[in-house]
Amino acid sequence: MNNEKIWQGSTYETTITDKDLTAQTVTLTLKNLETEALVQVIDVPYTTVNDLRTATITTNQTDVPGDYSILYTVTYGDGSIQKFPAPKGDCEGGECDLPTLTICEASDEVTS
C-alpha cells in the first residue's frame, strides 16, 4: 500500500475488496502523526459485487493539513479480525511504519 496525498478540503475515497465472502465491515483509522491523536474512525459495511466483498470509504473531514497514518481493520462473520497493511519497520522498538495520507495545504482554504 502506497502513501497518498490530497489537497486540504478534498474528498478522500478508497475502495477495499476482499475475496472472503464472510467479510462484514472495514474500518479506516487515521492517526495524526504529529500529535498521535486518532482523528477519524470510519466503519463501512461490505457488499457483494461480482463474487467479491467491496466497501467504499469516503470522508470529507480533510480540513487540517498534515500527515496521518492509515490503518484498515476488517471484521469477518466468524468474529476474526485482520488489520492491514502489514507493519513495516522495527516493530519490536514500537515503531511500525504504516502508509500515510498527507493532506496538503491548499491556498484557497483557511487553516485554523
The closest of 69, 67, 68, 66 to 87, measured between CA atoms, is 69
Ranking 20-24, 47-51, 63-67, 107-111 by mean pLDDT, the lowest is 107-111
Do residues 52 and 95 make contact, with C-beta atoms less than 8 angstroms apart? Answer: no
In a domain, 112, yes or no: no
* DSSP reduced 3-state for 27: strand
For residue 111, pLDDT beyond 60: no
- 20 phi-psi bin (left φ>0, alpha ψ -120 to 50, beta other): beta
* Structural domain for 84, as ranges: 4-104
CATH code at position 93 = 2.60.40.650
For residue 112, pLDDT beyond 60: no
Q: What is the pTM of this model?
A: 0.84
| Interval 62-74 mean pLDDT | 94
**What are the cell numbers at 9?**
478540503
In a domain, 8, yes or no: yes
